[in-house]
Amino acid sequence: MNGADAGHGPSGGDAARAAEDARATPPPTGRAGHSGHPHPHAPAPLRVSRRPWLVAGIIALVAVALVGIVIVHTERQAFGFEVDLMTALAAARTPAVTTMALALDVLGGGVLSNVVFPILIAAALLVWRRPWAALYFGIAALASAGVTRLVKVTVGRVRPEDILVHPDFGSFPSGHSSAAALIATALGLVFMRTWVWVAGVAWTVLMMLSRMYLGAHWLSDTVGGALVGAGVALVVWAPFAYRLYRENRLPHPPIWRSLDTSAKA
C-alpha cells in the first residue's frame, strides 16, 4: 500500500467496527414496493379510537343519573314546561296520528322490543357472518333493558294523567325511547354507514314523539330514555371496537353461500 492509499483508506480498527455494525443491523422488513425493494418499516398496528365514544357514553349515563336525582328531589313531578307541552300535544291529537302512535307503541315496547327484535337482529348478524356484532348487540340490548328498569324503579316518577295506553310502572326513563336509541346506536356502530345513522335517528325521534303524543311520558322521560340506550351502546361498544372494525372489513355473504363464491362474484 502506498502513502496516498494509506491516507484515505480505513484503518484496520475502523474496518473491524464497520463489519461488526453491519452484522448487528437487522435487514429491512415489510412488503416490497413498486420498485422491488422492501419498505424500511413494517406497517404500524391498527388502533381504533375508543376514548371519544366511551367518554360520550359515560357522559350520557351520568346525565341520566343527574336528571333522575333532580326528579326525585322535586317530588317526582313533571317540570312546568313539560306540562305545557303535554297539553299542546293532547289538543293536537287526530285519529290518523293516534293510530300511527299506537302502532309505534306496540312495535317499540314489551316483548317485541325487548325480546323478539333483539333476537331477530342478532340472528341476522350471525347469518351474515358477523358473530362479534351479534355478541355485542345482544350484550348491549340486555344492559340497556337492565339499566332502564333499574332507573325506573329507583326514580319512580309519576306518569301523565291524560294517557291513551296502559304502560308499566315508572315514567322515567322511557323504555320505548331507550330501546329505539339502543338499536339505532348499536347498528350505527356496527355498520358505520350514514344511512344507518340517519334511519336510526329518525326511528328514535319518532318513538320519542309518539310516547309524548300518547301521554305515556314527559319530555325528560323520552330524552332520558334515548340517553340510556345510546350511552349503554357506546360503553359496551368500547371493548368490542377493534374486533368489530376488523369484522366489518371482511366479506359478509349469508352462511348458505361460501366465501370463495362470494369473492369470485
144: amino acid identity, one letter: S
Q: Could you give the CA distance from residue 50 to residue 133 in angstroms, rounded to a whole number?
A: 16
Location of C-alpha cell 362479534? 132
Q: Beta-carbon neighbour count of residue 51 at 10 Å?
A: 8
252: amino acid identity, one letter: H
Q: Which residues pair with 38 in a beta bridge?
A: 32
Radius of gyration of the chain (CA): 29
Residue-wise pLDDT for 183-217, tens only, equals 999 999 999 999 999 999 999 999 999 999 999 99
Q: Where are the alpha helices (DSSP H) in the chain?
A: 3-8, 12-24, 51-73, 80-91, 95-107, 110-111, 117-127, 131-155, 175-191, 194-213, 219-237, 241-248, 259-264
Q: Could you give the CA distance from residue 34 to residue 24 in angstroms, rounded to a whole number?
A: 28
The pLDDT of residue 22 is 44
Would you give the distance in Å from CA 211 to the centre of its chain? 23
Residue-wise pLDDT for 128-155, tens only, equals 999 999 999 999 999 999 999 999 999 9
Q: Could you give the CA distance from residue 254 to residue 180 in angstroms, rounded to a whole number?
A: 26
> Which has the closest alpha carbon to 235: 185, 169, 176, 173?
185
> Which has the closest alpha carbon to 133: 141, 195, 55?
141
- Phi and psi angles of residue 32, each rounded to the nearest 5 degrees, phi first: -70, 140
- Is 70 exceeded by the pLDDT of residue 113? yes
Global pTM value: 0.78
User: If you ran DSSP here, which 8-state letter would residue 256 be given?
Assistant: T
Residue-wise pLDDT for 59-99, tens only, equals 999 999 999 999 999 888 888 898 989 989 988 899 999 99
Q: Beta-carbon neighbour count of residue 37 at 10 Å?
A: 10
What SS3 class is residue 47? coil
226: amino acid identity, one letter: A
Task: Give 135's Cβ-side CA count (13 Å radius).
Answer: 10
156: amino acid identity, one letter: G
Residue-wise pLDDT for 10-53, tens only, equals 444 444 444 444 444 444 444 444 444 444 444 445 566 788 99
